[in-house]
Amino acid sequence: MSNIFGDAKTRLSEVFRRIDLSDDVEQRLAHPRLTLVVNIPLRMDDGSLRVLQGYRVQYNDIRGPTKGGIRFHPDVNADEVTSLAFWMTIKCAIAGLPYGGAKGGVAVDPKTLSKLELERLSRGYIRAIADVIGPDRDIPAPDVYTNSTIMGWMADEYYKIVRKKVPGVITGKPVHLGGSLGRESATGQGALFVLNRWVERHNLKPQNLRVAVQGFGNAGAHFASLANQAGYHIVAVSDSRGAVYAEQNLDPDLLMAQKRENLAISKMMYCNSSVCESAEYRIITNQELLELDVDVLALAALENQVTGQNVDRIQARHILELANGPIDSKSDEVLHQRGITVLPDVLANAGGVTVSYFEWLQNRSGLYWELEEVSRRLKKTMDRESDHVFDLVEELGISLRTAAYLHGVERIVGAIQQQGTREYFSED
């Protein structure tokens, strides 16, 4: 049985040790406000029926409607979805967005489904959770193995249920269906803004930094491409099937183009080909990629990739967490002791939810922004919140992760205190 949630909460205990907080805050943040488990009947193309288990967890909504992605993956379970919803709560607070945190998912291998089966599943999932979502209540978005097409189907199903167009119910939609320009690349772009800020602060130069990227999906591939354009040397990338390495530099755009081409040929929603099919570069294993002697290791796949099994062999000087929870808490401590910088998920991957917020604002106002406007606002948010976290590290001598949590928790505490805590109500 996984216990990612237990591990995730240990990061909060560290923050609670450092700041004097009302018990109310600890209690409010210890449990999700709502956990919905649904069983979704799915008619398969051959006429048979499968029933799939899905989840929607709303962790905390004190700062606003809850926000969080939907994952289609065989390993999805209540413990994982709860952890992801918890991280979303902290992340939205760090980014200063007027949202609480949520997450959803379906335990399924989407690569085994046809496009029609995927559409039926996406619509079935929304019918199952429609009562608890809405633009002022809980707003889903894409996550692992879901994309803009799936968000478009989900939004459409919701409009049919409520009998009106409310595009603010889901973000990450295709641009022609009310999506925002810049949302596809937002997580990678936001992570690059955080890395750039860190690099500038420490007088490093992108052109002297070698980067390895684990995970070549929405977050990882866009990050690799943008970092390459910004002058960093991308020397290795991996996906679920393997990894490639080039001593000098590899071209992420070439690998992306090859994946896109294979996808178009296969007529599937998911790419069955892998970066390791590229003839241009040397093939290495996924584990070797994690242990490369590089300046920056960008983790953009799944949880628990750096654990007791491999932490002692990690050689990167800096780790950028685009994925949620890619390092377990014990390994995090080991990396901290070894002086390896970890730019934490709750800050580093907040670009995705930030542009989701911009999409929600555009949907509600009916006024759509140019890409330059989206990018300018994203940079402003990521720079501002990164500076805040980096300042806390310098002032208090704490890790980047503890500083990021402290920053987010302080905003959540502000909201909880405004409603009155035990100290307030027991005053004479």
103 catalytic, yes or no? yes
Q: Which is nearer to ligand NAD, 24 or 119 (CB)?
A: 119
In terms of Cα–Cα distance, which of 111, 35, 117 is closest to 77?
Answer: 35
Contacts with ligand NAD, residue ranges (CB under 6 A): 142-145, 187, 214-220, 238-240, 286, 300-302, 322-324, 349, 352
Q: Which is nearer to ligand NAD, 86 or 421 (CB)?
A: 86
Local structure of residue 99 (DSSP, 8 states):
-
d(CA 217, CA 239): 8
CB of 26 to ligand NAD, least distance (A): 26
Residues 6+ away with beta carbon under 8 Å from 352: 69, 141, 183, 186, 187, 190, 219
CB of 238 to ligand NAD, least distance (A): 4
CB of 145 to ligand NAD, least distance (A): 4
103, 115, 164, 205: which is the annotated catalytic residue? Answer: 103
In terms of Cα–Cα distance, which of 375, 327, 388, 94 is closest to 226?
Answer: 375
Q: What are phi and psi of 312, to 5 degrees?
A: -70, -15
CB of 25 to ligand NAD, least distance (A): 25
CB of 383 to ligand NAD, least distance (A): 18
d(CA 211, CA 236): 7
Helix (H) or strand (E) holding 84: helix 78-94
**Residue of minimal Cβ distance to ligand NAD:** 217
d(CA 171, CA 179): 7
Q: Which is nearer to ligand NAD, 214 or 228 (CB)?
A: 214
Q: Which is nearer to ligand NAD, 87 or 421 (CB)?
A: 87
Residue 285 tokens read as: 């294993």
Q: What are phi and psi of 324, to 5 degrees?
A: -90, 130
Q: Which is nearer to ligand NAD, 101 or 142 (CB)?
A: 142
Active site residues: 103
